[in-house]
């Protein structure tokens, strides 16, 4: 006889799926930041940030660390992108190099989070 899943299990599955979707959005942003003309990057970053902020309260335990981690990562990446943006105005190459460096850092954090999420482990700074 099949029993319906517990409400907690449904919630865990839902937040786990949201975590994966958020990580994939972040991954797209990190890669698109170094591709000229990738206008979807900032919009996806905002969508992922808002989703994480809204759903963060629905999680607990190791999975909650992923929501906080992604929020901190997005805030830091956004600040670093904004700080390095004037370099684009001064000269193309230094601005591009700065954004590549930020994107590599951002990509590293996202991949680390994805690996930890896959292993159902918490993520810390």
Tell me how far apart the alpha carbons of residues 11 and 50 are, in angstroms, rounded to a whole number: 19
Most confident region among 83-87, 104-108, 113-117 by mean pLDDT: 113-117
What is this structure's pTM? 0.81
Contact status, residue 74 vs residue 45, Cβ threshold 8 Å: yes
CB atoms within 10 A of CB 36: 7
Given a cut of 50, is residue 53 above it in pLDDT?
Answer: yes
Per domain, the residue ranges of the chain are 47-125
Average pLDDT over residues 54-80: 92
Torsion-angle region of 75 (φ positive above 0: left; ψ -120 to 50: alpha; else: beta)? alpha
């Amino acid at each position: 006889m099949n029993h319906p899943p517990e409400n907690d299990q449904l919630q865990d599955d839902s937040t786990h799926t949201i975590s994966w979707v958020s990580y994939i959005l972040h991954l797209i942003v990190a890669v698109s930041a170094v591709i000229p003309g990738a206008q979807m990057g900032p919009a996806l970053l905002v969508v992922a940030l808002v989703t994480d902020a809204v759903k963060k309260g629905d999680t607990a335990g190791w999975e909650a660390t992923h929501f906080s981690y992604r929020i901190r990562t997005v805030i830091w990446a956004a600040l670093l992108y904004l700080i390095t943006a004037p370099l684009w105005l001064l000269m193309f190459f230094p601005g591009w190099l700065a954004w590549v460096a930020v994107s590599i850092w951002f990509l590293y954090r996202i991949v680390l989070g994805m690996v930890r999420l896959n292993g159902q482990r918490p993520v810390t700074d």
